[in-house]
Structure 1
Amino acid sequence: MDRRPTIIDVAREAGVSKSTVSLVLQNSPSVRAETRAEVRAAMARLGYVYNRSAAMMRSSSAGLIGLVINDLRNPFFTEFATSLQMALSARGFATVIANTDESPDLQVQVISAMLEHGVSALIISPAYGDGDTAFEMIERAGVPAMQVLRKVNPRTERFPFAAPDYMAGGLLAARHLLAEGCRRIAFVGGMSDRGVTQERMAGYLSELDRAGLEPFALHGRATRAFGREAARQLLARQPRLDGAICFNDMVALGMMSGFAEAGHTVGSAFRIVGFDNIEEAAQAYPSLTSIGCGIADFGVRIAATVLGWLQDGTVPPPELRTPVELLVRRSSGLTQA
Structure 2
Amino acid sequence: MEKRPTIIDVATRAGVSKSTVSLVLQNSPLVREETRQDVRRAMAELGYVYNRAAATLRQANAGLIGLVINDLRNPFFTEFATSLQMALSAAGYATVIANTDEDPALQAQVVGAMLEHGVSALIVSPAYGDEDRTFDAIARANVPALQVLRQVVPTGRFPFAAPDYPAGSRLATEHLLAQGARRIAFVGGIAGRAVTDLRMSGYLAALAGCGLPPLHLPGRPGRAFGREAARQLAARHPSVDAVLCFNDLTALGLLTGCAELGRPVGQELKIVGFDDIEDCAQSFPALSSVRCDIAGFGREMAKTVLTWLEKDQRPPPETITPVTLIPRASSQVP
Q: State the TM-score, normalized to the length of structure 2.
A: 0.84
Report the counterpart of residue 238 of structure 1 in structure 2.
237
Unaligned residue ranges in structure 1 (runs of 5+): 8-21, 29-35
2:61–2:118 CA contact under 8 A, matched in 1:
no
Unaligned residue ranges in structure 2 (runs of 5+): 1-13
Report the counterpart of residue 322 of structure 1 in structure 2.
321
Report the counterpart of residue 72 of structure 2 in structure 1.
72
Change (3 A) 1:334 1:121: farther
1:61–1:92 CA contact under 8 A, matched in 2:
no
Question: How much is the aligned-residue C-alpha RMSD, in angstroms?
Answer: 3.0
Report the counterpart of residue 193 of structure 2 in structure 1.
194
Change (3 A) 1:312 1:254: same
2:265–2:271 CA contact under 8 A, matched in 1:
yes
The offset of 1:157, in angstroms, is 2.1
1:84–1:299 CA contact under 8 A, matched in 2:
yes
Q: 1:29-44 to 2 correspondence within 5 Å? A: 40=37
Change (3 A) 1:109 1:267: same
One-letter amino acid of the counterpart of residue 137, structure 1: A
Q: 1:4-153 to 2 correspondence within 5 Å? A: 40=37, 63-153=63-153
Change (3 A) 1:275 1:5: same
Change (3 A) 1:119 1:225: same
Report the counterpart of residue 284 of structure 1 in structure 2.
283
The offset of 1:158, in angstroms, is 2.4
Q: Structure 1: how far apart are the matches of 2:175 and 2:290? A: 11
The offset of 1:23, in angstroms, is 11
Change (3 A) 1:135 1:285: same
Report the counterpart of residue 223 of structure 1 in structure 2.
222
One-letter amino acid of the counterpart of residue 143, structure 1: V
1:328–1:334 CA contact under 8 A, matched in 2:
no
Report the counterpart of residue 9 of structure 2 in structure 1.
none
SS at match of 1:332: coil
Q: Structure 2: how far apart are the matches of 1:187 and 1:89? A: 39
SS at match of 1:274: strand
Q: Structure 2: how far apart are the matches of 1:27 and 1:230? A: 59
Q: Structure 2: how far apart are the matches of 1:92 and 1:149? A: 25
Q: Aligned residues: percent identity?
A: 62
SS at match of 1:186: strand
Q: Structure 2: how far apart are the matches of 1:244 and 1:90? A: 41
2:173–2:203 CA contact under 8 A, matched in 1:
yes
2:179–2:333 CA contact under 8 A, matched in 1:
no
Aligned length: 303
The offset of 1:193, in angstroms, is 1.2
Q: Structure 2: how far apart are the matches of 1:312 and 1:253? A: 43
Cα deviation digits, residues 18-63 of structure 1 (max 9, x gap): xxxx9986679xxxxxxx99x8489869xxx99x9xx99xx99961
2:126–2:152 CA contact under 8 A, matched in 1:
yes
SS at match of 2:320: strand
SS at match of 2:203: helix
SS at match of 2:330: helix
Cα deviation digits, residues 67-113 of structure 1 (max 9, x gap): 00000000000000000000000000000000000000000000000
